Amino acid sequence: MAQTYHRDDLSVDQRLALATAARRLRDEFTGVVGTETIERFLHTSYDQFAVHSTIANFLPLLAERFARQRLHALARVEGHHDGRPVVLFLCVHNAGRSQMAMGFFQHLAGDDALAWSGGSEFATEINPAAVASMAERGIDISKEFPKPWTEEIVRAADVVVTMGCGDACPIFPGKRYLDWALDDPAGQSVEDVRPIRDEIERRVRALLDELSVPAKG
């Protein structure tokens, strides 16, 4: 069972890492998002990962990365965006299907569209078989990490693709939803994951075509 960490228990190095992360985020979002919101997003992101993490030293980095995504989403909701479509891929653990879908989408869309992913009960690590199967296609998802979804991320997406999270997936009126019925790669071998991977690629290519985003490769 993962140990729970609290900000009050942080080491000096962790406190310094969080302070440095807050400074980077303030510099990046000055004039777009207020300082109080930046601090709140960073610390609530930290708390979300602290519940699941077994390695406390990684928490400030994960919190910064997730807070940055949330801040970009909030800015988009508030009208600060460049017009590129955003697709959010959701599954239960954000460790397999949604990560592979995001990997294909980012690889094929390049800078012409954005992809995010999340899970209703996010895991502690990416499924190794999913990482290996994607590597066979020249796509590296090993540096990604499971994460939850938040309200601003869902609201910022143009399309929300759900994969097996059922009633736990967030539903917002007026949002476009697609439900992809795909086998769960959890606990499966690379050989078993390959057909799931290939079906995900097919669906991602079809979605890019619907969004009028040319696939690169």
DSSP classification of residue 31: T
- Residue 169 bears catalytic tag: yes
Class of domain 83-217 (CATH, top level): alpha beta
Q: Give the closest residue to 114 by CA, choosing from 67, 177, 71, 69.
A: 69
pLDDT in tens, 137-149: 999 999 999 999 9
Question: Could you say which of 91, 113, 131, 160 is catalytic?
Answer: 91
Mean per-residue pLDDT, 89-112: 96
Catalytic residue among 165, 182, 193, 208: 165
pLDDT, average across residues 76-86 = 92
Catalytic, 91? Answer: yes
Which residue in 62, 169, 200, 208 is the catalytic one?
Answer: 169
Cα distance between residue 139 and residue 59, in whole Å: 25
Sign of the C-alpha dihedral, residues 116, 128, 140, 192?
negative
Q: Do the beta carbons of residue 159 and residue 88 sit within 8 Å?
A: yes
- The CATH 1.10.8.1060 domain(s) of the chain lie at 1-81
Q: Which one, of 86, 14, 12, lies nearest residue 46 by Cα?
A: 14
Residue 1 has pLDDT above 50, yes or no: no
If pLDDT is split at 50, 70 and 90, which confidence band does 82 have?
confident
Whole-number pLDDT of residue 2:
42
Q: What is the pLDDT of residue 8?
A: 61
d(CA 193, CA 187): 10
> Is 43 considered catalytic here?
no
In CATH, the architecture of 1-81 is Orthogonal Bundle (1.10)
Domain with CATH 3.40.50.2300 in the chain: 83-217
